[in-house]
Amino acid sequence: MTGVSFEGEHYRIHGIKPGPPPAHPIGIWLGAYGPRMMRVTGRLADGWLPSVPRLPLDDIPERQKAIDEAARSAGRDPSEIRRIANVNGEITDGARSGFLRGPAGQWVEDLRRLREDYGFQDFIFWGDGDPDTQVRRFAEDVVPALRES
């Protein structure tokens, strides 16, 4: 295999060789929100990864619909585009204080709603507060209960 060379105005490389091919497909995921990017997601991406609640719940159905329509227009099956939400909030011992802000049982309800009502398949957790405590609580208290539901 021959190396790659490039002579640019600011950078030059000579003899760069690629590493081994990846062991699995590497997907393109977009954490986008605007109408144009929803169409790009549906047409080209392997997955959509918005942050909730940064993206208001009321806006999700419209975004999902735009992705699905763009996928169909491009000859793609919309179900092949994974939908994963970054979820941000705090797991507490106290009472509910908002979406993704409250005890583990509420988190299970909120995540179930994101899955069943809004079409997200999986979640990436970003907890507020002490990271070790939040990740432990998510892994021990929320995830098992969500899987059972």
- What pLDDT, on the 0 to 100 scale, is given for residue 16? 85
Task: State how far Cα 28 lies from the chain centre.
Answer: 11
Phi, psi at 86, each rounded to 5° = -70, 125
Span 20-43, pLDDT tens digits: 888 998 999 999 999 999 999 999
Find, among 60, 100, 105, 101, the residue nearest to 83 by Cα.
60
pLDDT of residue 149: 85
- Report the SS3 class of residue 1: coil
66 C-beta neighbours (distance < 10 Å), count:
18
CA distance 101 to 117: 19
Topology of domain 27-148 in CATH is: TIM Barrel (3.20.20)
Asked if residue 1 has pLDDT above 60, the reply is no
Domain boundaries, the chain: 27-148
Q: Average the pLDDT over 64-89 and give the result.
A: 97
Whole-prediction pTM value? 0.82
